Structure 1
Amino acid sequence: MNIFTKVLIAFSFSISIFAAKDILVGAYHFPPFYMKKNGEKSGVLLEMIEELNKVQNKYHFKIIETSARRRYRDFTSSRCDLIFFESPKWGWSDHQISYVMTPPFSFGGEKFIALKKDRNQNYLKQLKKKMILLFDGYHYGFLDYEVDKSFNAKIVYTNSHEGNILSILKGRGDIAIVTESYLDIFFDKNSELKDKLIISEHYDQVYDHRVIMTKSSHISKDMMMSLLKQIKDRPCCRKLFKF
């Protein structure tokens, strides 16, 4: 390869990088999609971002950290362009936010758990006057998807699904509501604990996951869905995506 060819390749590569539009992806602690523990970041979203950047060079996706409560402000201030794994049920209309949302690409749900003892499914259907552990900033069906709504129970907000499960196991709460996908991960690593818990057959909520996007985003919802379809068979997405 002569020097002219090398220079041309290098120049073309630099132009490609320069032309790529940054797409800022808001990410908050939402196991198993995005997790941060002891400074270490993990989750499906990180793998998805890597794959999205591999399959094309028009856009460069990069993560901007936020929180479950702060994400509305960061979205409206254009600190991020889009957020994956969102649902229209989760407060966007309540905040009167203007947005674009893709069709569903994944589905999920949340279940009730309690220490088994001699209890049955009925225990998990009677929430009043119990201590219920919830993840701060999340929206729950039994609270009509309103954050901080009053309810005839002791509601304790935390920042750890794992912590909530362990608290239930230690008798430091009556019921916790945990995403089904996180329960699967937890029991994969702690299979001996599953028999100590009763897990509801019913859901607090079932939701579809979408990408919520600002109207000023450089990428359209159709293009976003096209890129998701290109990575749907990658290991990180194969079981998760439902097209």
Structure 2
Amino acid sequence: MYVAAYDYPPYFSTGLETDVTRELIQILNDYQDTYDFQLQVIPPNARYQALSKDGCCDVIFFESEEWGWKGKAVDATIPIIRGRERFIAKRIPGRTQAFFSSLDDKTVGAVKGYHYNFDGNERTADELGSSYRAYLSHSALTNLRMLMGGRIDIMPINDELLSALQNAGDQYEKDLLVSDQIFDDYMLSMIVGHNKRLTRETMQQLVRELARQGHIDKLLQRFNLSRFQVYRIGLRR
């Protein structure tokens, strides 16, 4: 059973020692022996092909249906996480929240294959260049280092990554100016391809069973993500 994963920290990143997806795969394999879940790393813009009928993978964890999946042959489980996205910049003397009021003359760091909703218009990273001065990389962590090094001026980041970095005692927090304004929020589920060895109903049942055993709560607590959790055993559908 192949789990597609692309760079989207804290859910998955080869730049991290561990992440939510790798931990959840281990929990699933320890919990049951019907399915052997294995990680398959893919580029972000390959995820639609990966879950297609002839694709390499069966499921992708912590993904929003709004990110290009409409019309695709997939099903989503119940939402598990409600995430949010906002801008950050490097903290320097005299820089205030007013810095985020306009993107004019600013280089925006984005990730290839991601979807963004800066101004109410959902668009891919590749489409940003038509409206903004954009620098595209393959990793949010790369962009974070570019931001701190002064190579880009501003970048979108999800609140979950900010929270996980804070939990890890990362020093980025004191060096970042974080926008007060959220420009996007989204629900993250498990998305399962049609005609696969795994069905949405089976994946959903596994999530429910892990929740009953307390595994989901403990996993999200470990990464400081509990405040984003929308699926708990008392709230299950």
Q: Any residues of structure 2 matched to 1:111-190 within 5 Å, and which?
A: 111-117=86-92, 118-142=94-118, 144-147=121-124, 148-149=126-127, 150-189=129-168
Q: Any residues of structure 2 matched to 1:1-243 within 5 Å, and which?
A: 23-37=1-15, 42-76=18-52, 77-93=54-70, 96-117=71-92, 118-142=94-118, 144-147=121-124, 148-149=126-127, 150-189=129-168, 191-232=170-211, 233-234=214-215, 235-238=218-221, 239=226, 241-243=229-231
The 2-side partners of 1:98 and 1:206 are apart by 24
Please, which runs of 5 or more residues in structure 2 have no aligned partner?
232-237
Contact preservation (8 Å) 1:108, 1:207: yes
The 1-side partners of 2:87 and 2:164 are apart by 16
The 1-side partners of 2:48 and 2:174 are apart by 39
**TM-score, normalising length: structure 1:** 0.80
Which 10-residue stretch deviates more, 74-83 or 191-200?
A: 191-200
What SS does the aligned partner of 1:91 have? coil
> 1:83: Cα distance to partner?
0.6
**TM-score, normalising length: structure 2:** 0.82
Please, which runs of 5 or more residues in structure 1 have no aligned partner?
1-22
Contact preservation (8 Å) 1:48, 1:237: no
The CA RMSD measured in Å over matched residues stands at 2.2
One-letter identity of the residue aligned with 2:150: G
User: What does the per-residue CA deviation read over 1:173-194, in whole Å, with 9 as the maximum and x for residues that have no partner?
Assistant: 1111112222223344565443
**Which structure would you say has the larger Rg?**
1
One-letter identity of the residue aligned with 1:242: V
Contact preservation (8 Å) 1:135, 1:158: yes
Contact preservation (8 Å) 2:8, 2:140: no
One-letter identity of the residue aligned with 1:184: S
Number of aligned residue pairs: give it.
217
Percent of aligned pairs sharing the same letter:
25
Distance 1:168-1:65 versus aligned 2 partners, 3 A rule? closer
